[in-house]
A = this chain, B = another copy of it.
Amino acid sequence: MTLDDLTARLRGGVPLAQLLQIEAIALDPLTIRMPAAALALRPGGTTSGPAMMALADVAMWAALLIANEGQDLSRTTQLAIQFLRAAAPGPVIAEPRILKPGRTLIYGEVWIRGEGDDRPAAHVTTQWAVTPLPTR
């Protein structure tokens, strides 16, 4: 899957990802970017919590799509975000990582930072359930 394919997939599956202009910008490590669009910001210019949560969920979905060669086999069951500091004004980057694959439950984390900033703005842990294959 190319970065363009992945971006198209994410935006097609989650309208908010389209709206927030979320895009995949690197595969190794997988990096998902959200520009500093007006819709993602709070008055004052820092990225809003809801925009970061959307970015995190989409980023983990991207990691699972990559791991499953484009097959969409799981859904979010749990997501916990800890806000660590305000992201600097500007684009925000998410790096998702699958910490524990599994046959029924998958567990991962996402680090969120302002682009060009080493310090994390938020840390996310998330659990996904593998969906049963449809039976015919």
Contacts and interface: CB of A to CB of B under 8 A. Distances in A.
Contacts of A16: 16, 39-40, 48, 50-51, 54
Chain A interface size, as a band, is: 35 or more
Interface of A: 12-17, 19, 38-43, 48-51, 53-54, 57-58, 75-85, 99-100, 104-105, 107, 120, 123, 125, 127, 129
Contacts of A14: 42, 48, 50
Contacts of A58: 50
Contacts of A48: 14-16
Given A16-B48, A51-B16, A57-B50, A78 B78 contact: yes
A107 B82 contact: yes
